[in-house]
């Protein structure tokens, strides 16, 4: 099956505050309200943060129904696919590897058969308030004191009679500045996409930055030129002719995009195989019956291709 459970989880978390992976745990959205910190003089923005609870693992049907709608499977086939995905996750963790949840974050083993979820903070982490930023917001008394200090400094250099009108005007200006800042913060519209249209059909290949996340190759858009790795002993040893798992490095729309992709990654051409999927051409470089083996091979790929998709 040439699709991933991760893309369904990402999609569902933009529309629900709780999504359960049966037998694995639940992703839960927590909300934080805006608040003012007097010590730092900063008005913090409201937030929607993704957490994980491994004790909530019952089947709420969301993922299964999403797979049924988009992939055309029946419910029992969808449940078997979810169970196989959870088995692959556990195998990957037991091998000392991290388990990527796409743009939501990743899991890592913590010892004593425990695991930890590390969330990413970005628009795909389902933060409906993404785009708002914290605001430095001084109180009127602080602004008045700063103006008084500036006036005192000027007076010490050039003595002059106090101008009561200008001081009153400065106080009014400081008050207006604070009110304008609060108005902008509290009146900014929050737009959360709650449309029920399904996500795009074509899978995507993302490239890592600080935590396996970054620039992506989506629906045939070719990645920028990267460094060339001349030999791939691990990929050659695993081979690409058998095994239920595929290491897919690109999904392209036509021959022109395929030719361009091969030109940019000429060193990988001897290992490339093609697989047609719903009108797209998937490029994979290795196959194996072991999920962890393919994940271990990512280090032999050019840096921008290391966040591969593993399909079965």
Decide the pairing of beta strands 35-37 and 99-100. unpaired
Q: Which of 11-15, 43-47, 215-219 has the highest mean pLDDT?
A: 11-15
Q: Which residues contact 312 (CB under 8 A, 6 or more apart)?
A: 1, 84, 88, 244, 245, 246
Q: Is the pLDDT of residue 123 over 60?
A: no
DSSP 129-183: TBTB--EE---HHHHHHHHHHHHHHHHHHS-----HHHHHHHHHHHHHHHHHHHH
Instruction: Report d(CA 172, CA 211) in Å as an integer.
Output: 48
State the pLDDT at residue 38: 75
Instruction: Report d(CA 1, CA 116) in Å as an integer.
Output: 28
**Are 98 and 107 spatial neighbours (Cβ–Cβ below 8 Å)?**
yes
What tokens appear for 193 in the block?
Answer: 């996409």
Instruction: Report d(CA 5, CA 88) in Å as an integer.
Output: 11
pLDDT tens, position by position, 260-301 = 989 988 888 888 888 887 778 888 888 888 887 878 887 788
State the pLDDT at residue 85: 93
pLDDT category, 192, cuts 50, 70, 90? very low
pLDDT tens, position by position, 211-269 = 333 333 344 444 444 344 456 767 776 766 678 888 888 888 889 889 998 998 888 88
Instruction: Report d(CA 50, CA 209) in Å as an integer.
Output: 20
| Helical (H) or strand (E) element with 123 | none
For the beta sheet containing 105-111, the strands, ordered from the edge strand earlier in sequence to the opposite edge, are 99-100, 105-111, 114-119
Q: Is the pLDDT of residue 199 over 80?
A: no
State the pLDDT at residue 226: 39
Q: Of 153 and 196, which is predicted with more confidence?
A: 153
State the pLDDT at residue 213: 34
State the pLDDT at residue 195: 42
**Are 262 and 225 spatial neighbours (Cβ–Cβ below 8 Å)?**
no
Q: Is the pLDDT of residue 22 over 70?
A: yes
∠ at Cα 268 (267, 269), nearest 5°?
95
pLDDT tens, position by position, 62-76 = 999 999 999 889 999
Q: Is the pLDDT of residue 59 over 60?
A: yes
State the pLDDT at residue 80: 94
Average pLDDT on 35-46 reads 79
pLDDT tens, position by position, 138-151 = 777 788 888 888 88
State the pLDDT at residue 84: 93
**Are 23 and 54 spatial neighbours (Cβ–Cβ below 8 Å)?**
no
pLDDT tens, position by position, 127-175 = 566 566 677 777 777 888 888 888 888 877 655 555 555 566 666 766 6
Radius of gyration in angstroms for the set of CA atoms belonging to the chain, rounded to a whole number:
27
State the pLDDT at residue 247: 85
∠ at Cα 225 (221, 226), nearest 5°?
120
| Helical (H) or strand (E) element with 52 | strand 47-53
């Amino acid at each position: 099956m040439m699709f991933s459970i991760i893309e369904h989880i990402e999609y569902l978390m933009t529309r629900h505050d709780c999504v359960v992976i049966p037998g694995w745990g639940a992703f839960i959205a927590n909300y934080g309200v805006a608040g003012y910190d007097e010590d730092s003089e900063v008005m913090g923005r409201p937030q929607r943060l993704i957490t994980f609870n491994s004790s909530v693992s019952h089947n709420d049907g969301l993922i299964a129904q999403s797979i049924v709608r988009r992939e055309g499977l029946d419910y029992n086939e969808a449940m078997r696919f979810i169970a196989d995905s959870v088995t692959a996750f556990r195998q990957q963790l037991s091998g000392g590897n991290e388990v990527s949840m796409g743009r939501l974050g990743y899991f890592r083993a913590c010892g004593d058969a425990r695991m930890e979820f590390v969330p990413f903070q970005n628009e795909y982490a389902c933060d409906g308030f993404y785009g708002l930023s914290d605001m430095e917001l001084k109180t009127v008394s602080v602004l008045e004191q700063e103006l008084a200090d500036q006036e005192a400094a000027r007076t010490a250099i050039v003595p002059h009679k106090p101008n009561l009108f200008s001081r009153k005007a400065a106080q009014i200006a400081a008050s207006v500045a604070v009110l304008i800042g609060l108005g902008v913060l509290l009146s900014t519209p929050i737009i959360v996409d709650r449309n029920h249209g399904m996500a795009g059909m074509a899978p995507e290949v993302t490239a890592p930055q600080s935590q396996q996340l970054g620039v992506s190759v989506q629906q045939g858009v070719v990645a920028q030129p990267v460094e060339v790795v001349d030999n791939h002993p691990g990929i050659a040893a695993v081979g690409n002719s058998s095994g239920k798992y595929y290491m897919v490095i690109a999904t392209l729309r036509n021959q022109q995009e395929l030719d361009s992709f091969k030109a940019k990654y000429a060193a990988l051409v001897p290992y490339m195989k093609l697989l047609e999927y719903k009108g797209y051409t998937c490029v994979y470089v290795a196959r194996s019956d072991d999920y962890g083996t393919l994940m271990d091979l990512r280090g032999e790929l050019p840096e921008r291709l290391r966040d591969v998709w593993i399909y079965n």
